[in-house]
Amino acid sequence: MRGIAAVPSYVVMQPTTLCNLDCVYCYLPLRAADRRMPLTVAEAVAASVNPWAASGRFSVVWHGGEPLAAGREHLAALLAPFGPAVEHHVQTNATLIDDAWCAFFAEHGIRVSVSVDGPRARNGERVTRGGRPAYDRILAGVAALRRHGLPFSALAVVSRPEPGLATELYGYFLDLGCDVLGINIEETEGVNTRTNARDAAAVTGFWAELVGAWRRDPRIHLREIEWSLRYAGAVLAGTSDDLLPRRLDPIPTVGHDGSVVVLSPELAGFTDPHYGDFSSGNVLTTPLAEILAGAGRTPWVGEFLTGVEACRSSCPYFGFCGGGHAANRYFELGRFDGTETEHCRNSKIRLLEGVLEHARDHESPAA
């Protein structure tokens, strides 16, 4: 894997910066402001995306702020320029989902991913602007999805890994009815400056316990665990070199104003005296395809690629990780050419260690 691919597999779009919640660990700087994406931005993105979708699977992920806070009418107008081959996804806090939104998702073929951190007691940091718990409203949104028979994914943030939590969470999400689950250990990113340094044994133990819970009832696609097991299988088969893509997916995030930030959605909306606004261009003046073709020339991106090469030559986990995320390096290390971060310790190194710990504890030695 070297360099950045010119064509992504998906694009992240920010229909509004606004979020109706104010979660304690949120990284978004402008979540109290309603800056909406004009239709001209969606039209410009669609001009590049439609040909890509015609020649292979392609997704647009509507991410905010809270994308539903843009309203159905505005979101429908933003969706209109995209052709029928484009798959649409929303990442939502679910609090605004009702019957009308479910009808909208069905009509537009939108796949929903809900942010929820587990049972009520685990959602204390998901709160409204007035500081009130959002849990009941989240569950009401999920109930509407279930009533309408709409499949959905879930994304949970774990702030304090501790014994028993993984089993509790996995059981909760089985009952919730999601078919895909992603788990993020809380990250120090954006305006969330809380430390993400965690006790190594607690994090490794969390992942090991999660593998055990999943293996007992593997009805949910568990993003991190399935990827780890695929990697472990490839190592045993001697094919792990083929697992990472040939080039990094640029994952362009198109901000509400049309600016494009590659590799890390979390960098969108930030500026730095040295790196500027992190953007590689704006779709209102340059086609997205052209911006991505030249993204490697964005100064911070070049520095990040240097960091990836440093990871490749120094880290035994590189074949599994591929060099980590740009935003974690920036927000933890203040630069892009470093290597290890707390994030990669929590979510790459200890994840793989947890899978191996589970294997050591549960597999009988070969005869």
**Residues contributing to the site for ligand SF4 (CB under 6 A):** 311, 315, 317-318, 321, 323-324, 339-340, 344, 348-349
- Beta carbon nearer to ligand SF4, 268 or 351: 351
Q: How far apart are CA 74 and CA 193, in angstroms?
A: 33
Contact 144, 98 (CB under 8 A): yes
Contact 89, 57 (CB under 8 A): no
Q: What's the closest the beta carbon of residue 312 comes to ligand SF4, in angstroms?
A: 7
Question: Any alpha helices (H) in 99-222, and if so which ranges?
Answer: 99-108, 135-147, 165-176, 200-216
Residue 356: partners with Cβ closer than 8 Å, 6 or more residues away: 232
What is the number of other CB atoms lying within 10 angstroms of the CB of residue 291? 23
- Beta carbon nearer to ligand SF4, 257 or 353: 353
- Beta carbon nearer to ligand SF4, 89 or 348: 348
Residue 99: partners with Cβ closer than 8 Å, 6 or more residues away: 144, 147, 148
Q: Which helix (H) or strand (E) holds 305?
A: helix 299-314
Q: What's the closest the beta carbon of residue 321 comes to ligand SF4, in angstroms?
A: 3
Q: What's the closest the beta carbon of residue 179 comes to ligand SF4, in angstroms?
A: 28
- Beta carbon nearer to ligand SF4, 40 or 314: 314
Q: How far apart are CA 101 and CA 342, in angstroms?
A: 38
Task: Name all contacts of 233-241 with Cβ < 8 Å and 24+ positions apart.
Answer: 235/319, 240/319, 240/320, 241/319
Residue 297: partners with Cβ closer than 8 Å, 6 or more residues away: none
Q: What's the closest the beta carbon of residue 327 comes to ligand SF4, in angstroms?
A: 12
Helix axes 99-108, 72-79, angle to 10 degrees: 0
- Beta carbon nearer to ligand SF4, 220 or 344: 344
Instruction: Name the residue whose CB lies closest to ligand SF4.
Output: 324
- Beta carbon nearer to ligand SF4, 296 or 324: 324
- Beta carbon nearer to ligand SF4, 114 or 311: 311
Q: Which tokens is 140 given?
A: 């009401």
Q: Which helix (H) or strand (E) holds 115?
A: strand 110-115
Q: Which helix (H) or strand (E) holds 356?
A: helix 350-362
Q: How far apart are CA 159 and CA 197, in angstroms?
A: 10
Q: What's the closest the beta carbon of residue 339 comes to ligand SF4, in angstroms?
A: 4
- Beta carbon nearer to ligand SF4, 224 or 340: 340
Q: What's the closest the beta carbon of residue 61 comes to ligand SF4, in angstroms?
A: 23
Q: What's the closest the beta carbon of residue 304 comes to ligand SF4, in angstroms?
A: 11
- Beta carbon nearer to ligand SF4, 66 or 353: 353
Q: What's the closest the beta carbon of residue 355 comes to ligand SF4, in angstroms?
A: 14
Q: How far apart are CA 43 and CA 48, in angstroms?
A: 9
Q: Measured between alpha carbons, how far is residue 77 from residues 36, 42, 74, 100 in Å?
A: 12, 9, 5, 16
Q: What's the closest the beta carbon of residue 182 comes to ligand SF4, in angstroms?
A: 18
Q: What's the closest the beta carbon of residue 352 comes to ligand SF4, in angstroms?
A: 9
- Beta carbon nearer to ligand SF4, 65 or 338: 338
